[in-house]
Amino acid sequence: MYQLGGFSIINAWTFFNKRYEFLWSNFNKTGQDLFSFKVLQHKVVAMSGEASRITFFNEKDLDFSQGYRLLMGGLGDIKVENEDAGPAMFNKRLLKIFRRDRLQHVMPTLLSDINKRMDAWGMEGKMNPFKNIYDIVIQLTVRIASCEELADDPRSVEKMSDLYWRLEKSATAVGLLLPWFPGTAKKDKKQASEGLYGLLSYYVDARRKAEVPSSDAIDELIADGADNAIIVEFVLNVIFAGVVNTGMICCWTLLYLSANKEWKGKAMAEVKSLLAAHTTMTSSEPMHQRLSRIPFSAWEDEMPVVESIIRETLRLVKNDTALRRNLADNLQVSGKTIDKGAFMAYNMADVHLNELFYSEPLKFDPDRFTAPREEDKRGNIAFLGWGAGRHPCTGMKFAKLEIKMILALVLSRYEYKLVDTSGKPPKQLPQPNRNDIHQARPMGEPCFLRYRKIVD
Residues placed in the known binding site for heme: 393
Within 13 Å, how many C-alpha atoms sit on residue 417's CB side? 8
Query: What sections of 243-325 are H helices per DSSP?
Result: 248-258, 261-278, 287-292, 296-301, 304-317
CA angle 8, 11, 12 (to 5 degrees): 85
Query: What sections of 302-395 are H helices per DSSP?
Result: 304-317, 349-352
The 3-state DSSP class for residue 326 equals strand
Rounded distance, CA 62 to CA 365, Å? 34
What's the residue count for the chain? Answer: 456
Do residues 124 and 453 touch, judged by C-beta distance below 8 A? yes
In 360-444, the DSSP E strands lie at 387-388, 391-392, 414-419
Q: Are strands 2-3 and 34-39 parallel, antiparallel or unpaired?
A: parallel
Do residues 255 and 418 touch, judged by C-beta distance below 8 A? yes
CA angle 320, 322, 328 (to 5 degrees): 170
Q: Are strands 42-47 and 62-63 parallel, antiparallel or unpaired?
A: unpaired
The secondary structure element, H or E, covering residue 117 is: helix 100-119
Could you tell me the CA-to-CA distances from 197 to 16, 69, 148 in Å, in that order? 26, 19, 18
- CA gyration radius for the chain? 22
Rounded distance, CA 346 to CA 60, Å? 16
**Binding-site positions:** 393
Q: Cis omega before residue 87 (within 30°)? A: no
Partner residues linked to 450 by β-bridges: 126, 417
Within 13 Å, how many C-alpha atoms sit on residue 114's CB side? 27
Rounded distance, CA 153 to CA 131, Å? 19
Within 13 Å, how many C-alpha atoms sit on residue 357's CB side? 21
